[in-house]
Amino acid sequence: MNILEHYENDEIISIARNLILIRAVEEVIVSNYGKPGEEQHMRCPVHLSIGQEAAAVGACTHLTRNDRIFTTHRCHAHYLAKGGDVRRMVLELHGKLGGCLDGRGGSMHLMDDSVGVVASIPIVSSSIPLAVGSALADKLDGNQNVSYAFFGDASIEEGVFHESANFAAVQQLPVIFVCENNLYSVYTHLSERQPNRDFARIGEAHGLKTVRLDGKNVFEIAAVFKNIVENARTHNEPSLVVMDTYRWREHCGVNFDDHLGYRDSREVEQWMKHDPVKIASQIVIDAGVLDQGELDAITMRVHAEVATYFEEAIKAPLPSPELAKLYMYA
């Protein structure tokens, strides 16, 4: 089967461009994040999505602006894949006026209700019950919206996941639990935290339709999610999707960290050989949608655009102290 047969060329190019955009933003963060002794313009911790871009883009391809996502500390890719504004994200990373939260949230709290990015929460698993509550509201309203809970493999070990999955299955809610399994909870490998099992089957035990995917091929991911989203939208069918992926950089920060010894550098190198951006680019080229020169031109334009946003953010004004008091109290 031709993996691209259900897509128009402009859709294929848009998916590829989204991957390129997310990678470009993260790489410019790496370049601009202050080193020791340098002035630091981004003063918030950052959790990069390099290596995990395909999971975010593929999952969000068939969502509408009215659909809602609830995500984690590693939220850059989700925010951008859902249609978040790049310029506003960059301003937010710099704590500046005009950011998606006017500088109050930083990297781990990207939010933009206008595109359905409702919450990014660094506390493990905390976004999961919010997505379930959102789906319950949508079912009661009968508006056929879909809610996503993005989370990592460590969240499967939290009680709130099981409570939420059970409730979603019992109530038949239009919610999709999206697990990005990058093998590590900070520095602890999955094998040290869970028994030798396919933990995706935990979803089946809760009564969820469950799928496990290779998290590197964005077009395969998007094709599977098309049906999952449609079933949630029209039949209120909750699902768990586990995508096997990998973060290239350290858990928090912009550096590589295999020297710490919790993972082997050969493991990192092996995953980096299967770059989701390069995989998507090759699929696009092989299908004759774009040639290498056209893809290179898109990449150059995207990088130039992103670099401009970072330059503007450094010069942008800080929010006034009075603005910090907004939304402080309910």
Rounded CA gap, 50 and 47, in Å?
A: 9
1 in any annotated domain: no
- Residue pair 81/56 in contact by the 8 Å Cβ criterion: yes
Rounded CA gap, 154 and 157, in Å?
A: 6
322 in any annotated domain: no
Backbone φ and ψ for 253, nearest 5 degrees, come out as 130, -170
Query: Residue 178: which of 137, 229, 220, 216 has the closest Cα?
Result: 229
330 in any annotated domain: no
- Positive or negative CA dihedral for 309, 311, 315, 318? positive
Long-range contacts of 164-167 (CB under 8 A, 24+ apart): 164/128, 164/129, 164/131, 164/132, 165/202, 165/203, 165/206, 165/208, 165/238, 165/240, 166/206, 166/207, 167/132
Residue type, 309: Y
2 in any annotated domain: no
Rounded CA gap, 156 and 151, in Å?
A: 9
Show the DSSP H helices in the chain as ranges: 9-32, 53-60, 76-81, 86-93, 127-141, 159-171, 201-205, 218-235, 265-272, 276-286, 292-315
Which single residue is written with the structure tokens 């990592």?
152
329 in any annotated domain: no
Residue 222 sits in which domain range?
9-246+255-317
143 in any annotated domain: yes
- Residue pair 161/124 in contact by the 8 Å Cβ criterion: no
Any idea what DSSP says for residue 238?
Answer: -
pTM of the predicted protein model: 0.95
What is the number of helices (H) and of strands (E) in the chain?
A: 11, 8
Question: What pLDDT, on the 0 to 100 scale, is given for residue 311?
Answer: 96
Rounded CA gap, 57 and 82, in Å?
A: 8
Helices 276-286 & 9-32 angle (0-180, nearest 10): 150
Any idea what DSSP says for residue 47?
Answer: B
Question: What pLDDT, on the 0 to 100 scale, is given for residue 40?
Answer: 86
Question: What pLDDT, on the 0 to 100 scale, is given for residue 1?
Answer: 55
Question: What pLDDT, on the 0 to 100 scale, is given for residue 200?
Answer: 85
**Residue ranges of the chain with per-residue pLDDT less than 50:** none
- Domain total of the chain: 1
Question: What pLDDT, on the 0 to 100 scale, is given for residue 329?
Answer: 60
Question: What pLDDT, on the 0 to 100 scale, is given for residue 164?
Answer: 98
Rounded CA gap, 176 and 82, in Å?
A: 15
184 in any annotated domain: yes
Residue 47: give its domain's CATH number: 3.40.50.970
Question: What pLDDT, on the 0 to 100 scale, is given for residue 15?
Answer: 98
HSE at residue 170, side-chain half, CA atoms within 13 A, is 6
